[in-house]
Structure 1
Amino acid sequence: MRGAGPAAGWRIVAAAALLGVPTLPAEAEGVVQDPFPGLRSELFVNVTLIDGRGGPPRPSSAVLVTGALIRGVGTQGSMVVPEGSMVVDLSGSYLLPGFIDVQASPRTPEELHALVAFGITGVRDGAVPLDLFQARGRGGFGEDPAPSVYIGGPVLDAGDEASGVRLQSEAAVIQEVERQARDGADFISVSPNVPAEWLVGITRAARQADLPVWADRRGEGWLLALRAGAAVASPLVSGDPDLLPVAERDGFEALAAGGGTRTNADWLARLESHGPEVDRAVTALLSNDATLAPLLASAAAPLDCVPDTAACASVSEVERAELRAAWPKVQALVRTLHGHGVRMLIGSDAPRATDWGSGFHREMQLLVEAGIPELEVIGMATRNAAIALGQLHERGTIELGKRADFLVLEANPLADIRNASRISLVVIGGRAWSLGSDGRWERVRFN
């Protein structure tokens, strides 16, 4: 992300009235009054808009921001703006919704700032321990500029070392779901340690409260969780024996039984990307109206790390070579799921497997490399994530009345998805920010 100013792809032109843009007078008898008097307004003009709704980019667009909200989307000539509005020329730039990372665990303001530097204006933290949840509560997660953080409450856990709330029975888990719903949780997170036979009761209780269940990294894979009613599953490279041909399952499970380690490469070597087992997985996803967070960047981390460094220490050269040879199966599996209309999300898995922010962009790049068009990947990073979090009414697209969380890019992300990291401005709740040359965040004030 580059620093602020004209070189970063934007410039303040003048007050709207000086440019002949129609304005709403602050007071005028017999006309509709400005519904937001006293709030600052900016009209961003001459920008190519990628609104997150799936349609083609719209050149020569204008976006009106008043306070924290988007109050108009169209062309400059079609806008009637509040008196005193400032016009910001974004010629040559691209404007799109802020990204939402559905799988990350930021703990400090510095980590939140690092996410914002990569255009992430919303993040789901699905691994909040009980003590941290109680210490910080829901909401106060950092200093400006910070993304909105969505948490579902402490993770439901049944392990010896609980990562959230340790529970001893299915009845206790269901009671905890009901308690979190009363407390205003946005979703329910289930630890891999929760027994599979409890999942049906958990998802039933969550559905009664209109809350989605996110089941991450279950040891037996995500198919069982989906069949129990989970709304979101991850990761794609799961080690799920049920996704393997029947003839391959015993051999795969025997690796662990014999004291060995089952690797992603072992699982992929046995996978049939277009086999009947994958068809059944597609059916489970579609029939539940469920969503998948592939977490490809996490699976590909052994391929991306620099040999002979600490990040690569746990993976041998042989394992990396096997994973590299099997990676085309991952890409084929992505294409199969996408081709059947399975909704996908973008998650970085930071800091577990990737770095803050960069892992999110690596995920988008890997999906494009697998054959998904850039425009659809951007939709996964924005609108799909907002739907999965129950936040589409507020974010995920550039539309009238939504929160003004958006990015201004210097280059076209539809020509090269890597351009999605070439950010000149991040706007969060109508407040614009730029990363200065000294690496510090600077508030950009237009009037």
Structure 2
Amino acid sequence: MRRAGTPRRRPLVAVAAILAGVAVPGGLAGAGQDTFIAPQSELFTNVTVIDGRGGPPRPSSSVLVWGGRIQDIGAQGSVAAPEGTVVVDLSGSYLMPGFIDAHASPRTTDELRALLAAGITGVRDGAISLAVFEERGRGGFGDDPVPAVYVGGPVLDAGSAPRGAALESEAAAVAEVARQAADGAGFVSIASTVPPSWLVGIARAARRAEVPLWADRRDGGWLLALRAGSDVAGPLVSGDAELLPETERGPFEALAEAGQVPAQIAWLERLEPQGPDVDRAVTALLSNDSALLPMLASASASLDCPAAAATCAPLSNDDQRALEAVWPRAEALVRTFHGHGVRLLVGSDAPRTTAWGEGFHSEMQLLVEAGISPLEVLGMATRNGAIELGQLHERGTIEIGKRADFIVLEANPAADIRNARRISFVVIDGDAWTFDGEGNWRRVRFN
């Protein structure tokens, strides 16, 4: 069992700044992309800090930034700033850590831009090879700022594996885990096609290599992977028969195989959100100190398919009504896991079923609608993501000594999660960025 937040070997392939396409508060002046800005210290004052650690917002606060790090935090007037520090008055604004999308697969600069515009400063890419992304990181993104991108090796896949590592045996899977770890992969992902009998061997190989194991088994079976030793499992509404009462598993699998009813509807109709089978899943997650990806936005995407989603297939009117009728069970299931203290992550699943950036905010909204407070959801979208990426020592919360990676909002997201979309500007490694609405990225100079 690992200790939450323990740093692990995960490559930070691309770290750059983020933009936001809304108004910048007074006291800021846009500087062109080619303008060199010498390092300076900035004192952000009169701002309400939401630090991501679970406590209430702290009004009338000051945050001192220098050298790309947070140097001090305190009540207004209590932070001593070095001579020459630029003071930035953020009255009426809210400062919080940048978001971390725990499950997305960006491929292009435009896709990364869309994530940045949504306030996402870090993203875990679950479906691309390290070599491909490193090649793009060396020049494929140009001079545009991009979020921190954390990558693993090709997904372990016993099927055709168009983007993964096609495997023919457990021994081959174990060898692939060792190879990916040696290549510096930040984590290993296992797909639904990997046979259950291989899971224990794969998990042992991951532990030997000290590389985290993520179970992306959207067609079910993540609970088996979890019992084998997966560090992260999901998606929650995946059609995993083991979460159903034993008497319902056979009928569900028959319906799902026949394809007469969408799998998520047939599964939710038979689910007991507070039943003993769900309780066993909770116990497994807590025993392993593992995290869970609900990905409600992905599961519900068929109700309102975004145009930018890659594989979302709209439901018929009858199926839409059926999914709406059983959706409260999905919400109750999330509340069960959350209520027992399971660590939840926010992942958009873009572009599979949700649009870039928008899917992440939809996921936060759905978690709030499920009965979790906005403040807790903000912690899932920041601190929890940093824990699972082994980056809590560097990012995910607003604390002295951590990277100056944060977003500044126009309104309080702890009062209304929709306010998390109202981004004024973003600071990464001490540099502030904004977007002028005409396709130009601009670094912001404080004066």
TM-score by length of 1: 0.88
Identity of aligned residues (%): 66
Larger CA deviation: 313-322 vs 401-410: 313-322
1:295 matches 2:295: yes
Q: Measured at CA, do residues 105 and 313 of structure 1 come closer, stay the same or move farther in structure 2, by a change above 3 Å?
A: closer
- The Cα shift of 1:311 comes to 8.0
- Structure 2 counterparts to residues 7-406 of structure 1, below 5 A: 8-11=24-27, 39-129=39-129, 132-133=132-133, 135-136=135-136, 143-258=143-258, 260=260, 262-305=262-305, 314-406=314-406
Q: Secondary structure at the match of 1:45?
A: strand
Maintained 8 Å contact 2:306/2:354: no
Consecutive aligned runs of 4 or more in structure 1 exceeding 6 Å deviation: 137-140, 309-312
- The Cα shift of 1:89 comes to 0.6
- The Cα shift of 1:293 comes to 0.8
Q: Secondary structure at the match of 2:363?
A: helix
Q: Which amino acid aligns with 1:376?
A: E
CA RMSD of superposed structures (Å): 2.3
Tell me how many residue pairs correspond in the alignment.
Answer: 419
- The Cα shift of 1:236 comes to 1.1
- The Cα shift of 1:335 comes to 0.9
Larger CA deviation: 184-193 vs 334-343: 184-193
Maintained 8 Å contact 1:295/1:363: yes
Q: Secondary structure at the match of 2:362?
A: helix
Maintained 8 Å contact 1:285/1:342: yes
Q: Distance in 2 between matches of 1:237 and 1:60?
A: 41
- The Cα shift of 1:262 comes to 4.4
Higher relative CO (Cα under 8 Å, sequence separation at least 6) belongs to 2
Maintained 8 Å contact 2:310/2:351: no
Q: Measured at CA, do residues 433 and 135 of structure 1 come closer, stay the same or move farther in structure 2, by a change above 3 Å?
A: closer
Q: Which amino acid aligns with 1:433?
A: W
Other-structure match for 1:28: none
Other-structure match for 2:9: none
- The Cα shift of 1:164 comes to 1.9
Note the alpha carbon deviations across 1:312-367, whole angstroms, 9 max, x for none. Answer: 75421111111000011011111111110011000111111111101100000000
Q: Secondary structure at the match of 1:102?
A: strand
Q: Measured at CA, do residues 134 and 415 of structure 1 come closer, stay the same or move farther in structure 2, by a change above 3 Å?
A: closer
Other-structure match for 1:25: none
Larger CA deviation: 417-426 vs 213-222: 213-222
Q: Measured at CA, do residues 114 and 244 of structure 1 come closer, stay the same or move farther in structure 2, by a change above 3 Å?
A: same
Q: Secondary structure at the match of 1:103?
A: strand
Q: Distance in 1 between matches of 2:310 and 2:196?
A: 35
Note the alpha carbon deviations across 1:289-313, whole angstroms, 9 max, x for none. Answer: 1100100001111222389x99875
Q: Which amino acid aligns with 1:240?
A: D
Gaps of 5+ in 1: 14-37
Q: Distance in 2 between matches of 1:151 and 1:427?
A: 23
Note the alpha carbon deviations across 1:393-420, whole angstroms, 9 max, x for none. Answer: 1110011111111000000001110000
Q: Secondary structure at the match of 2:412?
A: coil
| Structure of greater Rg | 1
TM-score by length of 2: 0.88
Q: Measured at CA, do residues 100 and 229 of structure 1 come closer, stay the same or move farther in structure 2, by a change above 3 Å?
A: same
Maintained 8 Å contact 2:312/2:352: no
Note the alpha carbon deviations across 1:197-232, whole angstroms, 9 max, x for none. Answer: 111111111112222101112533311110111111
Q: Which amino acid aligns with 1:205?
A: A
Q: Secondary structure at the match of 1:78?
A: coil
Q: Which amino acid aligns with 1:110?
A: D
Larger CA deviation: 68-77 vs 403-412: 68-77
Other-structure match for 2:434: 434
Maintained 8 Å contact 1:127/1:154: yes
Maintained 8 Å contact 2:158/2:167: yes
Q: Secondary structure at the match of 2:189?
A: strand
Note the alpha carbon deviations across 1:142-162, whole angstroms, 9 max, x for none. Answer: 643210000012222221234
Larger CA deviation: 316-325 vs 428-437: 428-437
Q: Distance in 2 between matches of 1:336 and 1:147?
A: 33
Gaps of 5+ in 2: 1-19, 30-37
Maintained 8 Å contact 2:21/2:117: no
Maintained 8 Å contact 1:138/1:151: no
